[in-house]
């Protein structure tokens, strides 16, 4: 078995060429394998003093002091340790003669190759691959080969399930153990089993594994604190290759009542199937995903590989089969933000799924619907009506933002206001519901779930506003907009405009329901007790909501008083000190006004977008990973191309280059989606105009072609863009189907099975 022969072409690979222990946690994040149900950080099978292994099951949260609740680090199933001729193979000891780990994004594999020389001069070669199965959500597999190159002797292969794991607190000295042991068992020929239960949420996690060798061996089992290890011993001969396989299965009590039964049954089934079948079906599942999700860039290998990295991690973060979970801000890749879910999902990640996997998009929105009662409770607690989705959400849907973060060793604390003031997420969720419906035409979702979200979020805003006699308008006070440098501000334009949009859109859907779905409207109106008087109040508020705008300059003021803030030089200030000195200045964290003009582009004329883009671009620090992608897209839209490619590459490589310095605690999941949006909504210029898809492309000079697919109302549209043409082909089994597309200010009808080539000119 030679691992290199398994690997795909170079533009599908991310490779670690040398071993640097200080980079272990960085690569653990990059090399995370997941399937939306479970994520396993890319830790070394052999273990490491500097690593931070993590196994995270979507939806398995457990309360803790300070953070309310967090995604709980579950038992680690990765370890495969080797003792060769009485010498333990450890990468931080001995001498590494060769080392390479490779993430194969096309096949969803992580491979490792190393040659290691111990203190006795013994040279051992180790190769393996691992997978977290994309089709079988409860299955993982490690398969490899061990070769003693210049010696004979006894070999011991140890493979365990380790429940002695912790979450790391705000500081490394704080470790939180979420799981307590409930059972372990040596199943002899059937492997080993470990079951643990989260201490406060009471969720059981069962894991089972079976280690197999290609030669006869002597088997034993070791038991330690919260650990059970299968041990196989055999006599090895110089130069001979010895294959091993480790099958792993897992279930939680979120999925089934009898965790042990299902975990062990799954293990027996997959062992009987064999590793070759599991590998083949896993690779085939990834091939199917890439057929819909791949974005091909011709003429720029670095951009191609970087963008695929973002798409790969998006694909493996969503679980279309579980609509009670969503994607945390760090996905299933680490403990950053404690595994909480933000607006990142609906605004940055969801569009990718809407256009490549609508079923997954629907599932993500259903997470919000299932937590609608919790959102109502959040509103009630703060004295509002309707549904207030939390700034940080976990399993219950209640607000999980900590009120303060502190260091118990020093006594220092920082007050956190986002949970109490960053209310724009309410409109962001409503925006996502509308976006999904317009792009998919999923009437059932709208009638059963989406309309209720839209109306209850509108109701929240109607209770959140205040009437200002001086302005003769409704205002929204004491908020935090997307620019989190400035807290307690009044009339943040993003928040106000999105609130106005939210209410207006709810009114539109009410009219639609009244006209086309009277039965559904009657049931919904009765369910949420919505009166005609309340609807009239909504109209009044939407028509009179204050929007800070200067007609002379065409500038929208980010919030009241922003234009009067100080203008200071921040060159040389590091990111740590930035937030402390910019609160009273014009410097902003990320796209705010520019974000609004992106999301609600049809509501603003081109000159207004251009003026605001240039004004706010000067003051944007891009201290958030969410920011570069939006400026890249809007740079193209307003014709400011100078920094577009740089901002695009920055968004695709925020984790690959560890630009924020915190990739070690998890992937920047919003940036993954933002990078995809730059390719599709930026370079391809895709928008929805008057209910139809529209393209206005602009490609970087060195790009020869951009190719991708989008799902639209149940059909698949193939798009190929060059500097001169847009080529469209509708994939459908019905040759009578057509899709209308707006390109170059003209509507084109693309018929099923036919290719339409439209001439365009890049700006």
Instruction: Indicate whether 737 belongs to any domain.
Output: no
Could you tell me if 28 and 152 lie in one domain? yes
Could you identify the residue written with the tokens 């890439």?
A: 290
Taken in order 608, 614, 617, 619, the sign of the CA dihedral is negative
pLDDT level of residue 102 (50, 70, 90 thresholds): very high
Give pLDDT, residue 759.
Answer: 87
Structure confidence at residue 1 (pLDDT): 56
**Is the CB of residue 684 less than 8 Å from the CB of residue 634?**
no
Count of CB atoms situated within 10 Å of the CB of 381: 11
Listed range (271-285, 369-383, 599-613, 746-760) with the worst mean pLDDT: 746-760
Sign of the C-alpha dihedral computed for residues 613, 618, 622 and 628 taken in this order: positive
How far lies 676's CA from each of 145, 173, 326, 651, in Å?
A: 37, 37, 19, 9
Q: What is the DSSP string of 110-130?
A: EEEEEEEE-TTS-EEEEEEEE
Residue 137 covered by a domain: yes
- The tally of domains found in the chain comes to 2
User: Which tens digit of pLDDT belongs to each residue from 181-215?
Assistant: 999 999 999 999 999 999 999 999 999 999 999 99
Question: Is the pLDDT confidence value at 619 over 80?
Answer: yes
Percent of the chain at pLDDT above 70? 98
What was the pLDDT predicted at 406?
Answer: 75
Q: How far is residue 388 from each of residues 294, 339, 346, 569, measured CA to CA in Å?
A: 36, 20, 15, 38
Return mean pLDDT, the chain: 96
Q: Which of 226, 260, 292 is the last residue of a domain?
A: 292
Other Cβ atoms closer than 10 A to 393: 27
484 counts as catalytic: yes
171 and 121 in one domain? yes
Residue 67 sits in the same domain as residue 14: yes
Residue 513 included in any domain: yes
Q: Is the pLDDT of residue 72 over 90?
A: yes
pLDDT at 579: 80
Q: Which of 401, 393, 253 is nearest to 327 (CA)?
A: 393
Tell me whether residue 342 is in a domain: yes
Residues 224 and 304 in one domain: no
CATH of the domain at 71: 2.70.98.40
Do 310 and 421 have their domain in common? Answer: yes
Percentage of the chain lying above the pLDDT 90 cut: 92
Residue 719 within a domain = no
Q: What is residue 630's predicted lDDT score, i.e. its pLDDT? A: 98
- Whole-Å CA distances, 293 to 12, 146, 288, 703, 714: 14, 36, 9, 19, 15
For 586-744, strand residue ranges (E) read: 687-689, 692-695, 705-712, 715-721, 725-731, 738-743
Do 221 and 323 lie in one domain? The reply is no
Verify that 563 and 616 share a domain, yes or no: yes
pLDDT digits (tens, 9 = 90+) for 273-332: 999 999 999 999 999 999 999 999 999 999 999 999 999 999 999 999 999 999 999 999
Cα–Cα distance for residue pair 289/297, rounded to 1 Å: 18
In a domain, 357, yes or no: yes
Indicate the pLDDT class of residue 762, thresholds 50, 70 and 90.
very low
My answer on whether 234 and 272 are in the same domain is yes
Q: How far apart are CA 77 and CA 40, in angstroms?
A: 9
With a cut of 50, say whether residue 708 has pLDDT above it: yes
pLDDT digits (tens, 9 = 90+) for 659-698: 999 999 999 999 999 999 999 999 999 999 999 999 999 9
93 vs 86: CA distance, rounded Å: 14
In this predicted structure, what is the pLDDT of residue 264? 98
Dist CA 200 CA 324 (whole Å)? 19
| CA 91 to chain CA centroid, nearest Å | 31
**Distance between CA atoms of 234 and 158, rounded to whole angstroms?**
12
Tell me the pLDDT tens digit for each residue of 481-490.
999 999 999 9
Structure tokens at 361: 């998009």
What is the distance between the alpha carbons of residues 483 and 590, in angstroms, rounded to a whole number?
5
For residue 300, being part of any structural domain is answered with yes
Co-location of 554 and 411 in the same domain: yes
Candidate from 64-68, 88-92, 152-156, 546-550 with smallest mean pLDDT: 64-68
Q: Examine residue 491 and state whether it is found in any structural domain, yes or no.
A: yes
CA–CA separation, 111 vs 728, rounded Å?
Answer: 38
DSSP-based three-state secondary structure for 565: coil
> Does one domain contain both 418 and 371?
yes
Task: Report pLDDT digits (tens) over 252-274.
Answer: 999 999 999 999 999 999 999 99
The phi and psi torsions of 398 (rounded to 5 degrees) equal -80, 160
Rounded (5°) CA angle 444-447-453:
120
Please name which of 597, 600, 425 lies closest in space to residue 505, comparing C-alpha atoms: 600
Of 24, 154, 150, 33, whose CA–CA distance to 90 is shortest? 24
Confidence at residue 763, expressed as pLDDT on a 0 to 100 scale:
37
Residue 486, Cβ density class (10 Å: 0-12 exposed, 13-18 middle, ≥19 buried): buried
Query: In terms of residue numbers, what domain contains 598?
Result: 294-683
HSE-CB of 510 using CA atoms within 13 angstroms = 20
The confidence score (pLDDT) of residue 405 equals 81
pLDDT (average), residues 619-641: 97
Of 127, 420, 421, 484, the active-site residue reads 484
CATH number at residue 616: 1.50.10.10
For residues 514 and 521, is the Cβ–Cβ distance under 8 A?
yes
Whole-number Å distance between alpha carbons of 410 and 639: 50
Residues 147 and 184 in one domain: yes
Mean pLDDT of 397-424: 88
Determine the angle formed by the axes of helices 425-440 and 451-464, rounding to 10 degrees: 150
313 in the same domain as 261: no
In 10-75, alpha helices (H): 24-30
What number of CA atoms fall less than 13 Å from residue 243's CA on the CB side? Answer: 8
Could you give the count of Cα atoms lying within 13 Å of 191 in the half-sphere of its Cβ?
28
pLDDT in tens, 214-260: 999 999 999 999 999 999 999 999 999 999 999 999 999 999 999 99
> Which residues have CB under 8 Å from 630's CB, separation 6+?
590, 591, 594, 595, 598, 674
Q: pLDDT-derived band of residue 626, with 50, 70 and 90 as boundaries?
A: very high
Instruction: Tell me how crowded residue 505 is: count the other CB atoms within 10 A of its CB.
Output: 20
Q: Determine the Cα angle at 26 with ends 21 and 30, to 5°.
A: 125
pLDDT class for 466, splitting at 50, 70, 90?
very high
Pick the more confident residue, 91 or 576: 91
Mean pLDDT confidence for 392-410: 88
The distance from CA 641 to its chain's CA centroid, rounded to whole angstroms, is 28
Q: Domain boundary residue among 664, 683, 702?
A: 683
The last residue of one of the domains, among 292, 315, 337, is: 292
Relative to beta strand 746-751, strand 738-743 is antiparallel
């Amino acid at each position: 078995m030679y691992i290199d022969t398994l690997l795909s072409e170079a533009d599908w690979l991310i490779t670690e060429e040398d071993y640097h222990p200080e980079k272990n946690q960085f690569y653990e994040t990059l090399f995370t394998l997941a399937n939306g149900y479970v994520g396993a950080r890319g830790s070394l099978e052999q273990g490491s003093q500097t690593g931070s292994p993590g196994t995270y099951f979507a939806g398995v949260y457990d309360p803790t002091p300070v953070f309310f609740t967090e995604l709980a680090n579950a038992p680690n199933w990765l370890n495969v340790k080797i003792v060769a001729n009485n010498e333990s193979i450890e990468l931080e000891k001995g001498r590494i003669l060769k080392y390479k780990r490779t993430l194969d994004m096309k096949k969803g594999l992580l491979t490792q190759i190393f040659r290691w020389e111990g203190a006795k001069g013994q040279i051992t070669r180790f190769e393996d691959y691992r997978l977290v199965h994309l089709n079988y959500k409860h299955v993982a597999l490690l398969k490899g080969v061990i070769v003693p190159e210049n010696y004979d002797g006894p070999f011991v292969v140890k493979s365990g399930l380790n429940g002695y794991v912790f979450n790391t607190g705000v500081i490394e000295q704080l470790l939180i153990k979420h799981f307590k042991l409930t059972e372990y068992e040596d199943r002899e020929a059937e492997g080993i089993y470990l079951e643990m239960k989260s201490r406060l949420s009471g969720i059981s996690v069962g894991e089972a594994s079976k280690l197999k060798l290609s030669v006869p061996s002597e088997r034993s089992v070791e038991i330690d604190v919260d650990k059970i290890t299968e041990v196989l011993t055999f006599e090895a001969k110089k130069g001979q290759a010895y294959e091993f396989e480790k099958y792993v299965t897992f279930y939680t009590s979120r999925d089934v009542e009898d965790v042990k039964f299902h975990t062990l049954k799954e293990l027996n089934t997959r062992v009987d199937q064999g590793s070759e079948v599991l590998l083949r079906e896993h690779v085939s599942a990834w091939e199917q995903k890439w057929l819909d999700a791949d974005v091909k860039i011709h003429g720029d290998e670095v951009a191609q590989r970087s963008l695929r990295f973002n798409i790969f991690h998006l694909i493996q973060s969503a679980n279309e089969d579980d609509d009670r979970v969503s994607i945390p801000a760090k996905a299933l890749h680490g403990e950053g933000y404690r595994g909480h879910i933000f607006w990142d999902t609906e605004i940055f990640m969801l569009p990718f799924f809407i256009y490549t996997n609508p079923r997954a998009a629907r599932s993500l929105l259903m997470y919000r619907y299932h937590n609608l009662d919790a959102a109502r409770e959040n509103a009630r607690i703060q004295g509002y009506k309707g549904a207030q989705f939390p700034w940080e959400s976990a399993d219950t849907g209640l607000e999980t933002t900590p009120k303060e973060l502190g260091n118990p060793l020093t006594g220092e604390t920082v007050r956190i206001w986002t949970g109490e003031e960053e209310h724009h997420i309410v409109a962001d969720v409503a925006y996502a519901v509308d976006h999904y419906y317009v792009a998919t035409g999923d009437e059932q979702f709208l009638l059963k779930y989406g309309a209720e979200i839209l109306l209850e979020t509108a109701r929240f805003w109607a209770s959140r506003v205040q009437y200002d006699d001086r302005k003769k308008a409704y205002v929204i006070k004491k908020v935090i907009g997307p620019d989190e440098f400035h807290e307690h501000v009044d009339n943040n334009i993003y928040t106000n405009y999105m609130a106005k949009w939210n209410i207006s859109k709810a009114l539109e859907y009410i009219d639609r329901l009244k006209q086309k779905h009277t039965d559904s409207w009657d049931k919904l109106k009765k369910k949420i007790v919505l009166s005609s008087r309340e609807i009239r109040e909504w109209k009044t508020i939407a028509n009179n909501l204050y929007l800070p705008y200067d007609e002379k300059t065409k500038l929208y003021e980010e919030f009241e008083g922003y234009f009067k803030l100080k203008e200071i030089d921040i060159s040389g200030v590091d990111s740590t000190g930035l937030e402390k000195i910019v609160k009273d200045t014009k410097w902003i964290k990320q796209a705010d006004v520019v974000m609004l003009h992106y999301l609600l582009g049809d509501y603003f004329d081109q000159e207004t977008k251009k003026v605001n883009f240039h004004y706010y671009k000067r003051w944007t620090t891009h201290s958030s990973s969410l920011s570069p992608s939006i400026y890249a897209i809007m740079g193209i839209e307003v014709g400011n191309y100078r920094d577009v490619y740089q901002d695009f590459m920055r968004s695709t490589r925020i984790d690959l280059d560890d630009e924020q310095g915190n990739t070690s605690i998890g992937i920047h999941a919003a940036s993954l989606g933002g990078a995809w949006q730059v390719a599709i909504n930026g370079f391809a210029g895709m928008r929805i105009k008057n209910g139809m898809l529209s393209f206005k492309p602009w490609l970087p000079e060195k790009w020869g072609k951009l190719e991708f697919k989008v799902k639209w109302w149940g059909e698949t549209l193939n798009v190929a863009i060059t500097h001169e043409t847009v080529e469209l082909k509708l994939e459908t089994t019905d040759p009578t189907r057509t899709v209308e597309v707006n390109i170059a200010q003209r509507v084109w009808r693309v018929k099923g099975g036919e290719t339409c080539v439209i001439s365009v000119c890049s700006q």
